[in-house]
Structure 1
Amino acid sequence: MIFKVLYQEHASEIPVRENTHRLYYEAENERQVRSELKDRNINIEFIQPLEGEHLAYEKQSEDFKVENV
Structure 2
Amino acid sequence: MIFKVYYQETKVRSPKREDTKSLYLDAENEAAAMTAVESNTEYNVEYIEPLEGNALDYEQQSASYKLTEF
Same fold per superposition (TM over 0.5):
yes
Partner residue of 1:19? 19
Structure 1 residue 12: Cα displacement: 2.1
Partner residue of 2:6? 6
Partner residue of 1:56? 57
**Counterpart-to-counterpart distance in 2, 1:29 and 1:68:** 15
1:28-55 Cα offsets, whole Å, 9 max, x none, are 0011011111131110000000000001
Q: TM-score, normalised by structure 1?
A: 0.91
**Counterpart-to-counterpart distance in 2, 1:13 and 1:33:** 23
Q: Indicate the RMSD between aligned Cα atoms, in angstroms.
A: 1.2
Q: Where in structure 2 are there 5+ consecutive unaligned residues?
A: none
2:28 is aligned with 1:28: yes
Structure-to-structure mapping, 1:39-54, within 5 angstroms: 39=39, 40-54=41-55
**Counterpart-to-counterpart distance in 1, 2:30 and 2:69:** 13
- SS across alignment from 2:34: helix
The size of the alignment, in residue pairs, is 69
